[in-house]
Chain A
Amino acid sequence: MKLYLENGMVIEGTGFGANVPVTGEVVFNTGMMGYVETLSDPSYTGQIVVLTYPLVGNYGVPDKKRFESEKIHAAGLIVSEYCDEYSHYEAKESLAKWLKRSGVPAMTGVDTRAITKVLREKGVMLGQLTPGKKGKFVDPNKENLVAKVSPTKKKEYGNGPLKIVLVDCGAKENIARSVMKDDTTVIRVPWNYDFTNETYDGIVLSNGPGDPMAVKETVENVKKALKGNKPILGICLGTQVMALAAGAKTYKLKYGHRAQNQPCLIENRCYITSQNHGYSVDAKSLPKDWKVWFTNANDGSVEGIMHIKKPFYSVQFHPEACPGPTDTHWIFEQFLADVKKAKKKKV
């Protein structure tokens, strides 16, 4: 198995997934565990993921109820040392078997730190993971990746009085789980669905893969919703969508934030967050009735925005965790409380 990088580098290793070629954007993630959640996160669509933690596969793969979506979305996986002799009571199969079954190639026995340093210095780049010869590099961000992972039909869960629209641009399951409560009904809609015609009390804009500029229809729908007063929570891509809808600008980060240890600040309070994003909101472009909510303590980038009056707020990280720390799960609680409050006011 070989990884060809856009800059001409070739890295050879041993294949342990499906024996097929893929092309995509090569990104690194520094989380020390959670490969199951990471691989099944739709935001990784089109990406070849390099895990910096060297030992991967240790606890196998559990039942899919633990996944973040139905299947593996990452295009490929690169690790330093794959472990086939997994050990965990919840494991159903090995990581290799899952990858093979899913048709996803993977490579082990390479210096993942060396690749990470290249990506850090030169920025994320295109790559091909292939058992054969080098083909053409294809930039996954050129196409609308969201359209590939978003559901095609509306779906409803639960029958509580609070109606929450989840705009699914490739939502992780735990976002849905986090808002599915006894008193909620979750209306899960495709990325381009005009939810403004639905009866609802609050909106969640999900995470998703790729460039936010590619989801113009979502941005348009959110623009309409921003005219109202119903609470909106954006997550990851949802933040970029909300920012674009509010009139702000987004840009691509050099090598993105893909880790489970990103410190985010609200003033002097710090939260450790799980992140997976390649784009960010330009703080200077925020309109006057918006403000920065969270800032990254490491590089100062915007990690969350908020409307100064209305209950619209959004975070660039993953409050639903999975993988990663659960420090910011309160954001869901705050959102649901705001939804309840708003509904009461209306009544």
Chain B
Amino acid sequence: MNKPKKVLILGSGGLRIGQAGEFDYSGSQAIKVLKEEGIESVLINPNIATVQTDKGLADRVYFLPLTEHFATEVIKKERPDAIFLSFGGQTALNLGLALEKSGVLKKYNVRVLGTPVSVIRDTEDRELFVKRLNQIDVKTARSRATASVAEAQKAAKIIGYPVMVRSGFALGGEGSGLVRTEDELVKKLSEVFHTNKQVLIEEYLEGWKEVEYEVVRDKDDNCITVCNMENLDPMGVHTGESIVVAPSQTLTNQEYHMLREVAIKTIRHLGIVGECNIQYALHPKTGDYRVIEVNARLSRSSALASKATGYPLAFVAAKLALGHTLPKLKNSVTGVTSACFEPALDYIVIKIPRWDLNKFENAATRIGTEMKSVGEVMAIGRSFEEVFQKGIRMLNIGADGFTAHRSKNFKMEDYLKEIKEPTTRRMFALAEALKAGVSIEKIHSLSNIDPWFLHKMQHIVDIEKRLKRSKLDKELLKNAKQNGFSDIQIAVATNSTEEAVRTKRRKLNIFPVIKQIDTLAGEFPAKTNYLYLTYHGTEDDVKPGKKSAMVLGSGSYSIGSSVEFDWSSVEALKALKKKGYETIMVNYNPETVSTDYDMSDRLYFDELSLERVLDIVGFEKPKGTIVSTGGQIPNNLAFALHEAGVKILGTHPKNINRAEDRHIFSALLDRLGVDQPEWQELSTKAEAAKTAAKMGYPVLIRPSFVLSGAAMGVALDEQGLIKFLDKAIGVGSDKPIVISKFIENAREIEIDGVAQNGKLKIYAITEHVENAGTHSGDATLVLPAQRTYLETIRRAKSITKAIIKELAITGPFNIQFIAKENNLQVIECNVRASRSFPFVSKVTGYNFIELATEAMLGKDITGDYRTLELDYVAVKSPQFSYGRIKGADPLLYVEMASTGEVAAFGDSYAEALLKSMMAAGFRLPKKNVLVSLGKEENKIKLLPSIEKLHQMGFTLYATEHTADFLKENHIPCERVYKIKSQGNPNVLTLLDSGNLDLIINIPARGLARPENSKGSLSDGFIIRRKAVDLNIPLITNRQLAEGFINALEEMKGKTLEAKAWDEYTTEA
């Protein structure tokens, strides 16, 4: 195979549920391989917060929507001779298949590298897949399509009861269910055949063990399995929703190798070249198996497997796609052994999903066959108990482990129900049940979780009991540590304090040891820098580094903490390295670039807790630690670390605290004469109501100490206030809340910048498209600011300077302002990098984190940075995952709901806005638009925009009141009736018709989500929800609607340019 000259890489776009930062890791590795091979690389990925879109990686980067249109334009322009499809998740794979189908790849002679397209089709199309596997007698779940009750009865008899009944062509598993007897089947089918022509009768696999293998194959047919993994939650819970261990724990040698053999046979038969994942169901009582699916691309599982074993899967996959063979590649971890081997682990790894469902009202917390988690954590150790408890702490949801929590939030009444019908809290339900003495047999029968895991959990609970009754001697303390108890947990169980436990532990000389991950279980000496801590050991594998500096990472992805903090951490590492430091990274998110083997001199894949960081600092004694690039988790540790004697780089932790403490910061602003929205901290409902009335509704309410998941809300009146308090917070004297005046019709601007010794060095001002009331993480951002007065900018800058000086900031910061009629109020100040740092860095061309790191190291970074006037405009849009969160209202709100972000450049604001929205999955309307505007103000303010839609030739549909209003204003539209009125034409029929290209639904009470009790869903909610479920573009914010329609008009007849990043930033 001759080497390609130029390769196009398709990225995965904004982070969303089911497709997170793991593809930044795989894409970056692929680009590195191309660089190493001297091949030119072109990347399309609108995810501006990724490392792969950094300068110095791909030769050319396009921040463009990952659509057929834009990809074709890029291919036309760049003329690559080859393309990578398997490094950008399902998005890239689907786009690649579309480009192949449309003939674009053939037309422009673009060769698909790695697994051929026909093979990808075989794995993606269920029918083809089963057929291919049948050819080699590999078993798949048995399934038969039937068209009548009689046929179904016959099929069920052949497959054997119980069977799963699935109605064909139904979305979201509607009408599916378990059937145990023929009678049940007949009864069920009489309903189902009413609405369906086809019913699938499927083998019932619930309760089977779920096992995965990561397989690598080269063009010469060398084929290996790099890792196997076992789901703790058996079949019935999506693997992305399952707790997973590697390697498998309950499989015998015979089972392990039977599945391995099937994996290799299958992958060879399919003809995959590169990396793939194969999933099995394994019967727990017979050892029989079924292949569930094959993913012919890098996946979330492969990222996990790569981090779990140390085997650089993405790197190797890219090499193989270029025609290299496994035996010729070296194991880059040991540097001496072959890449054609299967890692031997001498530790156990656990992955636990991170959910954020409590951010969504009405969202079901049941977990099952659909993925809802937004991120994951990975813990490494030498016993199950150790990794399980580590992993739970890593989730950062306030749990201190499996048991012995400080918080009371993990107690539950209905634990047996939550074990039987798994929810996001199942692990805590398991703890409750075990503590209550429920037998392992009983729990096993409810959950199908293998007793092996349950015994281990029981063990943790037993140790907690021992801690409670026995004297804490050396043996018990050591035992607790080996079983994953943190100092805090031990303190909770023994009624002591974390500090006291730590002091005692140190006195008793109980310390964790540092072990290497070397892929070969110690068989060969390894140069590896990949480390974890465990209490199961007597010696460290490494010696402390010399001139080292440490960066604390961002932990699991969650809503509010996404890939942007991984980017910032990586940039900090790079900057430290440039300055001659040995770099140390601490992080535990397997879906990141910061945890790549080649990103730091030492990677501690471990907890970001005070205890663990102190363990590491105690050993490594770094010259300094950066806490300001990893988001809120490291930021929160700053002061405690400082108190414990750790040298924090940048702003003094005392000053970080001054910015974090609401009372101190507020007083500080007052002293500086800086305006802020009025606020008060209160402890009772009555006080809250009184204060709110005095301030005037609407008011913003939040808990004083923000715990994860604790809600923030807006109350429009007293009733709303009380309701919110009752439901979300349960106000008591121990849980104060903060009420602040909500400023309506105000705009938001943000300043991201870097300061040094209290002096502003560089900054960028971004403007929100949406008015205040939309969380900054969900807002559409524009840079440079388009509508903000110069005077406002000047004032924002002077306020910023005053705050920076007062807090003596050195390093990154972010300040958020509310602007109303030239009046500026400060709403927040973060003495750390914010989520928009990658955006402002890439748009202005200055790497803010690099500068911040240099500033923290004491290098004078004073310079002439031009960030205000740019010859182009960039827009950042939120990426939502509502499609995955059934039942949630897709309305912009004060609580953040987006899971990721994208950005695009344009020669005008209009162009950038449209491209950016499209990059987040929005499609431009062609013909039919439904307009539904609540509240008079919205109608009046949007009238000119709606008129523009009409003039552009769109057919308008409007709900009752909106239609009346439009008609009064001589805008023709078709009136559709409310759902409940059942009048015709009805909104519901229109939605279901599939003819709508765009829905503009602006709710009357935009600030508060409508109350939906069962059976009485509001029309607005149904419209918005249907828009999501039927994948119809939706706008729910007035300012965004205006901006969008204006942009549409401005760009009418013009092309959205497929221009590369450097074409904007390099001056002509």
Q: Do A and B come from one complex?
A: yes
Which among B224, B345, B346, B450 is the interface contact of A87 at CB below 8 angstroms? B450
Which among A116, A265, A325 is the interface contact of B521 at CB below 8 angstroms? A116
Which among B252, B327, B328, B338 is the interface contact of A33 at CB below 8 angstroms? B252
Task: Determine, out of A78-86, A132-140, A207-215, the stretch whose residues face the partner at the interface.
Answer: A78-86
Which among B224, B247, B524 is the interface contact of A272 at CB below 8 angstroms? B224
Instruction: Flag whether A322 is at the interface (Cβ < 8 A).
Output: yes
Contact with A along B520-554 (1 / 0, CB 8 A): 11111100000000001111010000000000000
By secondary structure, the B interface counts as: loop
Contact check, A261 vs B344: say whether CB atoms are below 8 A apart: yes
Instruction: Flag whether A314 is at the interface (Cβ < 8 A).
Output: no
Chain A residues with CB under 8 A of B452 = 58-59, 83, 85-87
* A329: nearest chain-B partner, CB-CB: B261
Which among B253, B261, B338, B346 is the interface contact of A113 at CB below 8 angstroms? B346
* A256: nearest chain-B partner, CB-CB: B523
B564 to chain A, nearest CB (A): 37
Contact check, B344 vs A270: say whether CB atoms are below 8 A apart: no
* A321: nearest chain-B partner, CB-CB: B257
Contact check, B250 vs A54: say whether CB atoms are below 8 A apart: no
Q: How many angstroms from the CA of A34 to the CA of B347 in the assembled complex?
A: 16
Contact with B along A260-298 (1 / 0, CB 8 A): 111101001110100000000000000000000000011
Instruction: Flag whether A220 is at the interface (Cβ < 8 A).
Output: no
Chain A residues with CB under 8 A of B383 = 54-55, 80-81
Instruction: Flag whether B1036 is at the interface (Cβ < 8 A).
Output: no
Interface residues on B, range: 35 or more
Q: How many angstroms from the CA of A324 to the CA of B338 in the assembled complex?
A: 18
Contact check, A298 vs B337: say whether CB atoms are below 8 A apart: yes
Q: Which parts of B212-240 form the interface with A (CB within 8 Å)?
A: 220-222, 224
Instruction: Flag whether A185 is at the interface (Cβ < 8 A).
Output: no
Contact check, B346 vs A298: say whether CB atoms are below 8 A apart: no
Instruction: Flag whether B371 is at the interface (Cβ < 8 A).
Output: no
Q: Which parts of A17-36 form the interface with B (CB within 8 Å)?
A: 28, 30-34, 36
- Knowing A58-B452, A325-B257, A325-B260, the reply to whether A33 touches B251 (Cβ < 8 A) is yes
Instruction: Flag whether B278 is at the interface (Cβ < 8 A).
Output: no
Instruction: Flag whether B284 is at the interface (Cβ < 8 A).
Output: yes
Contact with A along B949-974 (1 / 0, CB 8 A): 00000000000000000000000000
Instruction: Flag whether A311 is at the interface (Cβ < 8 A).
Output: no
Contact check, B340 vs A270: say whether CB atoms are below 8 A apart: yes
Q: How many angstroms from the CA of A134 to the CA of B260 in the assembled complex?
A: 43
- Knowing A89-B285, A298-B341, the reply to whether A30 touches B252 (Cβ < 8 A) is no
Contact check, A30 vs B346: say whether CB atoms are below 8 A apart: yes
* B340: nearest chain-A partner, CB-CB: A270
Contact check, B285 vs A55: say whether CB atoms are below 8 A apart: no
Chain A residues with CB under 8 A of B254 = 66, 322
Contact check, B253 vs A85: say whether CB atoms are below 8 A apart: no
Q: How many angstroms from the CA of A32 to the CA of B224 in the assembled complex?
A: 16
Contact check, B382 vs A54: say whether CB atoms are below 8 A apart: yes
Which among B253, B325, B336 is the interface contact of A323 at CB below 8 angstroms? B253
Q: How many angstroms from the CA of A220 to the CA of B315 in the assembled complex?
A: 51
Q: Which parts of B127-164 form the interface with A (CB within 8 Å)?
A: none
Contact check, B522 vs A87: say whether CB atoms are below 8 A apart: no
- Knowing A32-B344, A259-B344, the reply to whether A87 touches B260 (Cβ < 8 A) is no
Contact check, B515 vs A113: say whether CB atoms are below 8 A apart: yes
Instruction: Flag whether A101 is at the interface (Cβ < 8 A).
Output: no
A92 to chain B, nearest CB (A): 12
Which among A34, A269, A298 is the interface contact of B220 at CB below 8 angstroms? A269
Which among A36, A89, A111 is the interface contact of B253 at CB below 8 angstroms? A36
B319 to chain A, nearest CB (A): 15
Q: How many angstroms from the CA of A117 to the CA of B537 in the assembled complex?
A: 13
Instruction: Flag whether B384 is at the interface (Cβ < 8 A).
Output: yes
Q: How many angstroms from the CA of A111 to the CA of B515 in the assembled complex?
A: 11
Contact check, A54 vs B536: say whether CB atoms are below 8 A apart: yes
Instruction: Flag whether B249 is at the interface (Cβ < 8 A).
Output: yes
* B343: nearest chain-A partner, CB-CB: A261
* B221: nearest chain-A partner, CB-CB: A269
Which among A58, A81, A262, A263 is the interface contact of B536 at CB below 8 angstroms? A81
Instruction: Flag whether B922 is at the interface (Cβ < 8 A).
Output: no
Chain B residues with CB under 8 A of A103 = none
Instruction: Flag whether B451 is at the interface (Cβ < 8 A).
Output: yes
Contact check, B342 vs A272: say whether CB atoms are below 8 A apart: yes
Contact check, B523 vs A88: say whether CB atoms are below 8 A apart: no
- Knowing A31-B344, A327-B264, the reply to whether A52 touches B521 (Cβ < 8 A) is yes
- Knowing A59-B250, A111-B536, A270-B326, the reply to whether A30 touches B344 (Cβ < 8 A) is yes
B341 to chain A, nearest CB (A): 4
Instruction: Flag whether A326 is at the interface (Cβ < 8 A).
Output: yes
B247 to chain A, nearest CB (A): 5
- Kindly name the residue among B253, B341, B345 whose own CB sees the greatest number of chain A CB atoms within 10 A: B253
Q: How many angstroms from the CA of A37 to the CA of B254 in the assembled complex?
A: 10
* B338: nearest chain-A partner, CB-CB: A297
B267 to chain A, nearest CB (A): 13
Chain B residues with CB under 8 A of A32 = 247, 344-345
Contact check, B337 vs A297: say whether CB atoms are below 8 A apart: yes
Contact check, A87 vs B327: say whether CB atoms are below 8 A apart: no
Instruction: Flag whether A112 is at the interface (Cβ < 8 A).
Output: yes
Q: How many angstroms from the CA of A111 to the CA of B534 in the assembled complex?
A: 11
- Knowing A30-B520, A261-B344, the reply to whether A268 touches B328 (Cβ < 8 A) is yes
Which among B341, B525, B538 is the interface contact of A262 at CB below 8 angstroms? B341
Instruction: Flag whether B256 is at the interface (Cβ < 8 A).
Output: yes
Instruction: Flag whether A143 is at the interface (Cβ < 8 A).
Output: no
Instruction: Flag whether A62 is at the interface (Cβ < 8 A).
Output: yes
Instruction: Flag whether B465 is at the interface (Cβ < 8 A).
Output: no
Chain B residues with CB under 8 A of A193 = none
Chain B residues with CB under 8 A of A30 = 344, 346, 520-523
Instruction: Flag whether B941 is at the interface (Cβ < 8 A).
Output: no
Chain B residues with CB under 8 A of A33 = 247-248, 251-253, 256
A301 to chain B, nearest CB (A): 12
- Kindly name the residue among A88, A113, A262, A323 whose own CB sees the greatest number of chain B CB atoms within 10 A: A113
Instruction: Flag whether A120 is at the interface (Cβ < 8 A).
Output: yes
Q: How many angstroms from the CA of A55 to the CA of B384 in the assembled complex?
A: 8
B528 to chain A, nearest CB (A): 13
* B516: nearest chain-A partner, CB-CB: A113
Q: How many angstroms from the CA of A62 to the CA of B973 in the assembled complex?
A: 75
Q: How many angstroms from the CA of A83 to the CA of B249 in the assembled complex?
A: 11
B495 to chain A, nearest CB (A): 29
Chain B residues with CB under 8 A of A83 = 452
Contact check, A89 vs B284: say whether CB atoms are below 8 A apart: yes
B82 to chain A, nearest CB (A): 23
Chain A residues with CB under 8 A of B337 = 297-299
Contact check, B539 vs A272: say whether CB atoms are below 8 A apart: no
Q: How many angstroms from the CA of A81 to the CA of B249 in the assembled complex?
A: 13
Instruction: Flag whether A90 is at the interface (Cβ < 8 A).
Output: yes
- Knowing A52-B344, A114-B537, A262-B341, the reply to whether A270 touches B284 (Cβ < 8 A) is no
Q: Which parts of B745-800 form the interface with A (CB within 8 Å)?
A: none
- Knowing A59-B251, A263-B338, A324-B257, the reply to whether A53 touches B346 (Cβ < 8 A) is yes
Q: How many angstroms from the CA of A30 to the CA of B525 in the assembled complex?
A: 14
Instruction: Flag whether B197 is at the interface (Cβ < 8 A).
Output: no
Q: Which parts of B464-523 form the interface with A (CB within 8 Å)?
A: 513, 515, 520-523
Chain B residues with CB under 8 A of A62 = 252
Q: Pull 22 A–B residue pairs with CB atoms less than 8 Å apart, ordered by A.
A: A30-B344, A30-B522, A31-B344, A32-B345, A33-B247, A33-B248, A33-B256, A34-B253, A52-B344, A53-B521, A59-B252, A59-B452, A87-B451, A114-B537, A261-B343, A262-B341, A263-B327, A265-B340, A268-B327, A268-B328, A269-B220, A325-B342
Nearest 10 interchain pairs by C-beta? A34-B253, A297-B338, A87-B452, A85-B455, A30-B521, A270-B340, A52-B521, A30-B344, A116-B522, A261-B342
Beyond the given pairs A87-B452, A116-B522, A260-B342, 5 more chain A to chain B contacts, judged by CB atoms under 8 angstroms and listed by A's residue number, are: A54-B383, A120-B523, A298-B336, A299-B337, A325-B342
Q: Show the binding face of A for B, using Cβ within 8 Å.
A: 28, 30-34, 36-37, 52-55, 58-59, 62, 66, 80-81, 83, 85-90, 110-114, 116-117, 120, 259-263, 265, 268-270, 272, 297-299, 321-327
